[in-house]
Chains A and B, each alone.
Chain A
Amino acid sequence: MIRVEWFYWLIGLFFLAVAASAVRDRTNPHRVPSAVFWALLGISFPYSSFVVAETAPAWPLGLLVIAIALIAGTGRLGQGSGAGTTSRQERQGLAERFGGRVFIPVLAIPVVTALFATLGPKISVGGQPLLQPLSETVIGLGVSAVVALALGMWLLRTHSLAVPLAEGRRLTENIGWASVLPQLLAMLGLVFATAGVGDAIGRSASAVLPSGVLLPAVVVYCVGMAVFTVIMGNAFAAFPVLTAAVGYPLLVTGFGGNAPAVFAIGMLSGYCGTLCTPMAANYNIVPVALLDLRDDYAVIRAQLPTAVPLLAANVALMYVLAF
């Protein structure tokens, strides 16, 4: 069986390779702390496998994460000059030489991922599923990255793995600490949940609610989902809290709402919040680094004029369709 953990180990190896070349890069003003940052990440990925399997304690990983956050948070994560890649003129020339061939590896990524996601769960070998159940798409993305790399090296006459590794390191250093921020936020979400932040917010949501009138209850549920998602960075964390405080007791039991409609539109109101928050770092902050946008809130700003009217539309849709 192909296990998703293999790909987490591969990411760990990749981080270690980034660390090994970062430590020798004299164009990086903070090359030693930067290398330590990537090396600690490289160790934390395979160590996590044992935490998930409950064969190792989780707290050392917590310490590792704090160390990683301290290096980044004190401005000691630097990056190299990125020299060594091709210039704009060279790329024009290469584009003419290779033509449409450069698209093939990029298009292989969605094709392979889609194959794994759709056919993967149906294949079994010797009575065992070929892919670890429920991780088919993540495995598909990992496999597609490897397949696309092999295809790319063959089509583009690249004979050394060092070339794509150096390019991958350049892009990873560009993204910098934003590459792990989404995981830190997931970890914060867990602490919030364990410490009872959700219950506290749920109590305040039901406290502001006037009783007996439908429209305010719909507004509190939808807007509450969006606001709580902005805080937590994740609509999945907001849903149980707001549903327990408002959605189920008031909208479904109290006003007799259509349960699937109330819950579906409530969740989608949360998604409007996801479009507005830096806490959803993988959607809103990572692309800032990937696309060289400078302003941390550039993506959020582009999304706000869609998110706000869409939230209003959700309130209207729920009011009209669910009752």
Chain B
Amino acid sequence: MLVLLGVLVVVVGFALRLNAMLVVTVAGLVTGFLGGLSLREILDAFGTGFAGSRSIAVFLLVLPVIGLVERNGLQEQARRLISRLARLTTGRVLAAYLVVRQITAAVGLLSIGGHAQSVRPLIAPMAEAAAVKRHGALPEAVSRRIRAFAAGTDNVGAFFGEDIFVAVGAVLLITSFVDTTYGLTLRPLDVALWSIPTAVVAFLLHGARSLHVDRVVAREVRAAASAEGRTGAVEG
């Protein structure tokens, strides 16, 4: 049970908002020593873990091209596009992206979306532009809220679509673990099918929240405007 102190290091470190890199490294060392590993074994585990997880970093390779197109006005162009489509609101942009993300992930195309390759260059500027079209220039806090919601929408769509796809990831992890550990013979397709109810609920919940963003934005813009009006009156 002593090894749980390592978990405590993580929880306390994140709660105190210490630098995450330090927290994680210290937690790894503490857990390793309490678990009876030698320094050499801990360093080996660090190295193996790092080497084995390099695929998470491949998104960095798209940054040069994203930077290049942004330099040439990509985000501005995404905003112009939105301002021409009168019926598109922030909420509808986000809900539409949720649909696309969930469906493409469900057929196995998980890595075609993502924060670097689609949220930053396209979805976030489009969602912001739709709000600007309606309300004029946005307070920075409102812009940030829209961008954060766009990132959340990417995650929700990816997580609750991916699990329906039979050939990789969660489904195979489940079947391979329980088949080898308990001698069952689960069909991956059954596991995938039982993921659908949750995927539907996730779509309804997050889709409704996406559409609701329009009202949240309207409320916050009004609040910011009236706050500005008040301070303006005092100064005046």
Interface residue ranges, A against B (CB under 8 Å):
4, 7-8, 10-11, 14, 44-45, 48-49, 51-52, 57-66, 68-70, 72-75, 85-86, 91-100, 102-103, 105-106, 109-110, 113-114, 117-118, 135, 137-138, 140-142, 144-146, 148-149, 152-153, 156, 158, 163-168, 170-172, 177, 179-192, 194-197, 200-201, 203-204, 231, 235-236, 239-240, 243-244, 248, 258-261, 263-265, 267-268, 271, 274-275, 278-279, 281-288, 290-296, 298-299, 301-303, 305-306, 309-310, 313-314, 317, 321-322
Chain A residues, Cβ within 8 Å of B17:
296
Given contacts A268-B195, A287-B120, 4 further A-B contacts (CB under 8 A): A110-B118, A135-B55, A152-B69, A264-B163
Determine how close the nearest CB of chain A comes to the CB of B152; give it in whole angstroms: 4
Chain A residues, Cβ within 8 Å of B28:
187-188, 191
Chain A residues, Cβ within 8 Å of B27:
188
Determine how close the nearest CB of chain A comes to the CB of B19; give it in whole angstroms: 4
Determine which of A181, A201, A263, A292 lies in contact with B186 in the assembled complex, contact meaning CB atoms within 8 Å. A263
Determine how close the nearest CB of chain B comes to the CB of A6; give it in whole angstroms: 11
* Chain B residue at minimal CB-CB distance from A163: B68
Determine how close the nearest CB of chain A comes to the CB of B157; give it in whole angstroms: 11
Chain B residues, Cβ within 8 Å of A171:
63, 66-67
Q: How far is the CA of A192 from the CA of B198 in the complex (A)?
A: 29
**CB proximity to A under 8 Å, residues B159-183:** 159-160, 163, 168, 170-171, 173-174, 177-178, 181-182
Q: How far is the CA of A270 from the CA of B64 in the complex (A)?
A: 34
Is A181 touching B21 in the complex (CB atoms < 8 A)? yes
B86 within 8 A of A: no
Is B47 touching A58 in the complex (CB atoms < 8 A)? yes
Q: A51-B51, A181-B21 are in contact. Are A105 and B10 (CB under 8 A)?
A: no
B223 within 8 A of A: no
Is A287 touching B68 in the complex (CB atoms < 8 A)? no
Chain B residues, Cβ within 8 Å of A96:
73
Q: How far is the CA of A144 from the CA of B61 in the complex (A)?
A: 9
Q: Please name the 5 residue pairs, one residue from A and one from B, whose CB atoms are nearest each other, closest first.
A: A195-B35, A167-B67, A187-B49, A95-B73, A58-B47
Determine how close the nearest CB of chain A comes to the CB of B199; give it in whole angstroms: 8
Q: A69-B22, A187-B49 are in contact. Are A58 and B43 (CB under 8 A)?
A: yes
Chain B residues, Cβ within 8 Å of A93:
73
Interface string of B70-104 (1 = CB under 8 A from A): 11111111101100000000000000000000001
Is A291 touching B77 in the complex (CB atoms < 8 A)? no
14 residue pairs of the A-B complex, CB under 8 angstroms, read A65-B46, A65-B50, A103-B122, A156-B69, A183-B54, A186-B56, A192-B7, A196-B35, A231-B10, A264-B191, A267-B195, A271-B160, A278-B20, A292-B144
Chain B residues, Cβ within 8 Å of A142:
58, 61
Is A62 touching B209 in the complex (CB atoms < 8 A)? no
Among B10, B112, B156: residue with most chain A CB under 10 A: B112
Chain B residues, Cβ within 8 Å of A310:
198, 201-202, 205
Q: A109-B112, A291-B119, A303-B155 are in contact. Are A195 and B6 (CB under 8 A)?
A: yes
Determine how close the nearest CB of chain A comes to the CB of B187; give it in whole angstroms: 7
Is B121 touching A106 in the complex (CB atoms < 8 A)? yes
Chain A residues, Cβ within 8 Å of B77:
95, 98-100, 102-103
Is A236 touching B49 in the complex (CB atoms < 8 A)? no
Determine which of A57, A114, A184, A271 lies in contact with B112 in the assembled complex, contact meaning CB atoms within 8 Å. A114
Is A190 touching B45 in the complex (CB atoms < 8 A)? yes
Is A94 touching B111 in the complex (CB atoms < 8 A)? no
Is A299 touching B152 in the complex (CB atoms < 8 A)? yes
Q: Is the interface of A mostly helix, strand, loop or mixed?
A: helix
Is B20 touching A190 in the complex (CB atoms < 8 A)? no
Q: A86-B71, A294-B144 are in contact. Are A186 and B50 (CB under 8 A)?
A: yes
Q: A194-B37, A197-B31 are in contact. Are A10 and B61 (CB under 8 A)?
A: yes
Is A303 touching B152 in the complex (CB atoms < 8 A)? yes
Determine how close the nearest CB of chain B comes to the CB of A243; give it in whole angstroms: 7
Determine how close the nearest CB of chain A comes to the CB of B105; give it in whole angstroms: 11
Interface string of B180-197 (1 = CB under 8 A from A): 011010110011111101
Chain A residues, Cβ within 8 Å of B231:
none
Is B51 touching A167 in the complex (CB atoms < 8 A)? no
Is A321 touching B112 in the complex (CB atoms < 8 A)? no
Is B174 touching A267 in the complex (CB atoms < 8 A)? yes
Q: How far is the CA of A241 from the CA of B133 in the complex (A)?
A: 50
Determine which of A14, A195, A271, A287 lies in contact with B119 in the assembled complex, contact meaning CB atoms within 8 Å. A287
